Amino acid sequence: MNIRKLRIGPPRSMLGQMMLAVALALLLAQGLGTALVYRAQAERRDEAMIHAAAFRLLAATRGENTVMRRQPQGPFHVRGMRVEYSTAAPLRAGETRDTDAEAALRQFLVQENGGPVPEVVVLQRKVADDAYARDRLARRFPRHGPSPADNAENPRPVRVMVAGLHDPQSGRWMVARVFVPGGGKQFLTSLLAQTLLIYIVLMGAIALILRRITRPLATLRDRLDAFSHDPGSPDKLEPKGPDDVRHLIEAHNAMEARISALLDEKDVMLGAIGHDLKTPLAALRVRIESVEDDAERERMATTIEDIVRTLDDILSLARVGRPSDPLEQSELSALVASVVEEYEDMGEPVTLEETLRVALPLRATWLRRAVRNVIGNALRYGKVARVGVGREGNRAVIRIDDDGPGIADADIGRMLEPFTRGDPSRNTETGGAGLGLTLARAIAEQHGGSLRLENRRGPGGEVEGLAATISLPLP
């Protein structure tokens, strides 16, 4: 069972990267907006609670003389607001004072009284820890059945703010209580739901716009890939998308048509050149038979054969980019074995080593030409050739080793260029125009592969020969 590894990382397509950038920017903006709204709501809530506690304390202060004569200690009502007098401070052990709320309450009381304010204490505690708060809450929310106020907009409070004002003359504290409004979670949930809705709508609209741009570009990319492998395809792209993308596709269609026309002109020109040159060469081959000197006749025939072979290599190299024969499913090891047998029948020192059966779509005639060229190069400079077929990852490889002097590391890349030869002489043993490896590389690239040369080195680092590898992608 094959398990495909998931690639973890940022998206690599333009659509993915743009969507990610917009999503992050929108998320940051909405997050900041939500935080600011939530903070403003919390500040308004705290301010309302401070004002409510201050009004109760002020009302109790102004009615103190009358009420205290009736009830010097304990809870009492002032204008419907219950305020409690106590000899002990409202702050219990382990509780924390709310200094910001105390400062706000003191400032409000100073403004209302127009004079200095005694010590104030503000804190928050759970409703369950405050007897008075529990009693008032039980009245608002009976045990049997919810109160009309107990709903999503006005949920049951769980905390109470306790504000105490100290009277230095009597030494007692006036304590007012204000329920901390619940619903913070509901408000935050509502705000997040609104943010999520805006996020989905905007991202959906942006995705549609980007899709309209990237889909034609993806089609154009696929067309360029196809054109690089088959320039003769008659299909043209239909302009789609925004005007800029449509103009780009139209320009590509015009460029593609021009390139195809140039390639057609090149094929016609090369065909004419090949015909016009091979005809007089054939006539020369007939005429040299009348030369009486055998050595001179042999040299002339060899020269004509070199010209014909070079011309054939040049024409093949020019046509390799536009093959006329289709790809056919072939067994690579059998194809290579048949080429090796040809050399063995001629008595050449070519041996077939370990091979692996690999089937893939090939242009068999072209690939045989590439293998012959590499083997011929190995025999010319390395005297022997050892051929093997294997597999490296998702690629099939044909490896040809020789025992020659190798190539200087600085010149290996240059050996694959046209008209470059390892031996500058042009005798009958090492002659040629230097197109064999270039044509082999072009044929490998025609199949989506490559040709690589590297020196084989022994244990001591000495060069023991050259290794040529034709690598072809597997389907």
**pLDDT tens sequence across 164-178:** 998 888 888 888 888
Q: Do the domain assignments include residue 194? A: no
Question: Residues 331, 261: one domain?
Answer: no
Name the most confidently modeled range: 54-68, 191-205, 303-317, 447-461.
447-461
Residue 425's pLDDT band (cuts 50, 70, 90) = very low
Residue 397 has pLDDT above 80, yes or no: yes
Residue 225 has pLDDT above 70, yes or no: yes
Question: Residues 82, 162: one domain?
Answer: yes
Residue 424's pLDDT band (cuts 50, 70, 90) = very low
Residue 78's pLDDT band (cuts 50, 70, 90) = very low
Across residues 120-124, what is the average pLDDT?
A: 91
Per-residue confidence (pLDDT) for residue 448, from 0 to 100? 86
Per-residue confidence (pLDDT) for residue 322, from 0 to 100? 63
What is the domain count for the chain? 3
Question: Residues 334, 469: one domain?
Answer: yes
Per-residue confidence (pLDDT) for residue 212, from 0 to 100? 85
Reported as a single tens digit per residue, the pLDDT across 257-282 is 888 888 777 777 777 777 677 777 77
Tell me the C-alpha distance between 428 and 208, whole Å: 68
Per-residue confidence (pLDDT) for residue 63, from 0 to 100? 63
Q: Do the domain assignments include residue 207? A: no
Question: Residues 234, 121: one domain?
Answer: no
Residue 67 has pLDDT above 80, yes or no: no
Q: Do the domain assignments include residue 209? A: no
Reported as a single tens digit per residue, the pLDDT across 302-355 is 888 777 777 777 777 666 766 667 788 999 999 999 999 999 999 999 999 988
| Range(s) of the domain holding residue 396 | 324-473
Q: Exposed, middle or buried by CB within 10 Å (0-12, 13-18, 19+), for 45? A: middle
Amino acid at 102: E
Across residues 420-436, what is the average pLDDT?
A: 54
Per-residue confidence (pLDDT) for residue 472, from 0 to 100? 93
Question: Residues 118, 252: one domain?
Answer: no
Per-residue confidence (pLDDT) for residue 168, from 0 to 100? 83
Per-residue confidence (pLDDT) for residue 234, from 0 to 100? 66
Which residue in 214, 210, 154 sits closest to 181, CA to CA?
A: 154
Question: Residues 274, 413: one domain?
Answer: no
Residue 66 has pLDDT above 60, yes or no: no
Tokens encoding 437: 């490896």
Residue 71 has pLDDT above 50, yes or no: no
Name the most confidently modeled range: 125-129, 183-187, 283-287.
125-129
Per-residue confidence (pLDDT) for residue 336, from 0 to 100? 93
Q: What is the CATH number of the domain that holds 413?
A: 3.30.565.10
463: β partners: 457
Name the most confidently modeled range: 28-32, 349-353, 366-370.
349-353
Across residues 35-48, what is the average pLDDT?
A: 84
User: Do you know the residue count of the chain?
Assistant: 475
Q: Do the domain assignments include residue 133? A: yes
Choice between 4 and 463, residue whose per-residue pLDDT is larger: 463
Per-residue confidence (pLDDT) for residue 9, from 0 to 100? 66
Amino acid at 473: P
Question: Residues 269, 346: one domain?
Answer: no
Among the three residues 275, 306, 322, which one is the final residue of a domain in this structure? Answer: 322
Q: Do the domain assignments include residue 85? A: yes
Name the most confidently modeled range: 39-43, 183-187, 373-377.
373-377
Per-residue confidence (pLDDT) for residue 292, from 0 to 100? 80
Question: Residues 113, 146: one domain?
Answer: yes
Question: Residues 274, 406: one domain?
Answer: no
Name the most confidently modeled range: 4-8, 60-64, 377-381.
377-381
Q: Do the domain assignments include residue 197? A: no
Choice between 1 and 238, residue whose per-residue pLDDT is larger: 238
Amino acid at 462: E
Question: Residues 138, 265: one domain?
Answer: no
Across residues 66-81, what is the average pLDDT?
A: 41
Question: Residues 99, 168: one domain?
Answer: yes
Lowest mean pLDDT among 207-216, 238-247, 338-347, 416-425: 416-425
Residues contacting residue 433 through CB under 8 Å, at least 6 positions apart = 310, 313, 314, 419, 421
Q: Do the domain assignments include residue 449? A: yes
Residue 38 has pLDDT above 90, yes or no: no
DSSP H helices, 320-454, are 332-345, 364-382, 436-446
Amino acid at 185: K
Q: Do the domain assignments include residue 205? A: no
Residue 146 has pLDDT above 50, yes or no: no
Question: Residues 125, 39: one domain?
Answer: yes
Residues contacting residue 204 through CB under 8 Å, at least 6 positions apart = none
Per-residue confidence (pLDDT) for residue 360, from 0 to 100? 92
Tell me the C-alpha distance between 196 and 36, whole Å: 16
| Percentage of the residues of the chain whose pLDDT score is greater than 70 | 83
| Mean pLDDT for all residues in the chain | 79
Among the three residues 295, 322, 349, which one is the final residue of a domain in this structure? Answer: 322
Among the three residues 136, 160, 188, which one is the final residue of a domain in this structure? Answer: 188
